[in-house]
A and B are shown apart, each in its own frame.
Chain A
Amino acid sequence: MAAVARNRAISRLAGSPTTWFSAAFILALILMATVGPYLFGDVDPNTISMSIMAPPSAEFPFGTDELGRDVLQYIVHGAQVSLYVGFSAAFAATILGGLIGAVSGYVGGRIDTLIMRVTEIFQSMPTFVLAALIVALLGPGNNRVILVIALLSWPQTARLMRGEVLRVKRLDFVTAARCLGQSETVILIKEVVPNCLAPVIALGTLTVAQAILLEASLSFFGLTNPDTISWGRILTSGQRYIFQAWWLSLFPGMAIFLTVFSFNVLGDSLRQALDPKS
């Protein structure tokens, strides 16, 4: 399956224009976050100008805020935070959930039952309220936000991974490895897990979107570090002037919307493309 299936997956991915758009948008976003700030001559985005709440113009394509700061610059810098938090949280959640799910599904029995009850407890809690509460208690900071998001997102990945492991561990090639004298740990790592990864990776992409959204929501409510520039934080100041300066809400809002949308589309397409049954 490996080589052929991978090629088939890529060609199927390439089929849809929405997928193309999403992939292109995410690439552009990553570029923007990494080299974008230097395009502005590395000026401090907090630089105050005399144009206060200026509407979009040639000089300030996305307008300025109540202190005369450039909204475009803010969005470019905000992309760094959103992507950093989104990717890190999704990565941590996928690793954590993947490990827990793999062990749960492979070992089975009481350990499996226990782990599944724990994931149910996590999944039945209102994510945002809990995230807000934890951040409020622990204090702001990107890494804490990442930690909180990862802690709240792993159960989904764990359940998916467990289901895949349950399916794969019954296949004959696993029995064959056992009859060749492989230990259970080696079988899990070398035979089972590699054949469970496709849907988990797809879910990881969706988790990036969830994490970005959660970070934006926390920022919007002022629960992240006030010194870091983030899309959610621009929205907070924007809502105070929504009738005088629509650009303060529209552009960061669009940035969040398009980013989350793109990651969702890409995750969905990945899931479909990697699914051998489709």
Chain B
Amino acid sequence: MIAVDAAPVLELDEVERTFVGRDGSEVKAVRPSRLHIAPGEIVALVGESGSGKSTLAKIALALELPDKGSVRLEGRDLLRLSKRELRRRRIAMQPVFQDPTAAFNPRRSIRQVLYEAIACRSGHTADPERLALEILHRVGLTPAANFIDRYPHEISGGQRQRLGIARALAAKPKIIIADEPLSGADVSIRGQILNLLLDLRREEGLSILFITHDISIAEVFADRVVVMYRGMIVEEGPASEVLKNPAHPYTRLLWAAVPHIDGDDIEAVRRLIIARPEGSGCPFYSRCVSAIERCAQEMPGSHSLGQTRQYRCFVQPQNQIAG
């Protein structure tokens, strides 16, 4: 299903972004990072709040400009396109938002929302109404005819999140970038929305970049997981392998924090919370149980683990303190 050899839909290379505060203080929101997403691939970008995952998503959507690096969509560097060309090309990637309430103009009916997105498709659409009804049906807002003339605020939160996906689909994208799309939904709706996204990937070959703080979702849902900490991608690889056997201490910490933990894990979390003074080296140093002296001064390089996995840590996985 995942055509690893196919040219990536979205390629972020060596992108970095530093925010400078009014007092001149700097926050490295994204340290030089590389993120490639293949056609039909689901990538989970995992990290705690402030890890830079949302900034990376905004850079991917060309909503935020990186200080350095390139963002290529279907092989074209978005940062080098003219404004007009960027507006035309970016339609191939569509966002799904965390808060579906703020995601819709309160003055537009569902029909207007979908027509607007359909109008952005390349080529002429003869019958926008039929297409809009099809899309509503596709995301499970049925009977579609009952929904099309309502307003987004008149439907439930879970339905609104489906509508958010419907709007994204209406633009006929190659990739959907969803920033915490489940955090506003309750548990039963989360499952439905994840299933919907999986169906869309299977049937339409959509790529999905899924941003979440919940690593357990990545386990069930994603092909590949990318773990971020303080702007640095600390580990990435196939979801099943990374989560079965994390190579980076931070991934272990995240995995241990998932509420399936037993006594030993709780102890591990407790140990990991003990903070150390911050160094100029690895951003995770202050919280890492496996840290060695070198971690405080030097930035760890990227190491390969097998063919598909990468992690950034001086300590080899087998020598790390078990979590």
Contact = CB atoms under 8 A, between A and B. Distances in A.
B139 to A, nearest CB: 16
Interface string B29-65: 0000000000000000000000000000000010100
Contacts of B90: 179, 181
A58 interface: no
Interface stretch (B96-104, B140-148, B186-194, B272-280): B96-104
B87 A176 contact: no
A181 B99 CA distance: 21
Contacts of A177: 105, 116
B171 A4 contact: no
Given A176-B95, A179-B93, A180-B171, A1 B63 contact: no
B151 A2 contact: yes
Nearest to B177: A179
B117 interface: yes
Nearest to B117: A180
Given A175-B63, A181-B91, A1 B106 contact: yes
Contacts of B76: none
Contact of A194 (B63, B87, B91, B107): B107
Interface string A1-21: 111110000000000000000
- Size class of A's contact patch? 20 to 34
Interface string A171-210: 1110111111111000000010011000000000000000
B87 A182 contact: yes
B151 A176 contact: no
A173 B153 CA distance: 13
A172 B97 contact: yes
A181 B167 contact: no
B87 A181 contact: yes
B323 to A, nearest CB: 36
Contacts of B107: 1-2, 194-195
Given A1-B153, A172-B97, A176-B167, A181 B103 contact: no
Contacts of A4: 151, 153-154
B94 interface: yes
Contacts of B196: none
B116 A172 contact: no
Nearest to B91: A181
Contacts of B167: 176
Contacts of B87: 181-183
Nearest to A191: B105
A182 B171 CA distance: 12
A89 to B, nearest CB: 29
Contacts of A175: 63, 95, 97
B120 interface: yes
B168 to A, nearest CB: 9
A173 B151 CA distance: 14
Given A1-B153, A175-B63, A176-B167, A181 B105 contact: no
Given A1-B106, A195-B105, A178 B151 contact: no
A173 B94 contact: no
A3 B151 CA distance: 9
Task: Give the most central of A171, A172, A195: most B CB within 10 Å.
Answer: A172
Given A180-B116, A180-B171, A173 B95 contact: no
Contacts of B94: 179-180
A168 to B, nearest CB: 9
Interface in B106-149: 106-107, 116-117, 120
Given A180-B91, A181-B87, A183-B87, A5 B63 contact: no
A5 to B, nearest CB: 7
B68 interface: no
A171 B108 CA distance: 15
A52 B211 CA distance: 85
18 contacts: A1-B107, A1-B151, A172-B99, A173-B105, A175-B97, A176-B103, A176-B104, A176-B167, A179-B90, A179-B95, A179-B171, A180-B120, A181-B91, A183-B87, A191-B105, A194-B107, A195-B105, A195-B107
Given A177-B116, A179-B93, A180-B171, 11 more contacts: A1-B107, A5-B106, A172-B95, A172-B102, A172-B103, A177-B105, A180-B117, A180-B120, A181-B87, A191-B105, A194-B105
The 8 closest A-B pairs by CB, nearest first: A1-B106, A181-B87, A172-B103, A172-B97, A172-B102, A173-B105, A180-B120, A2-B107
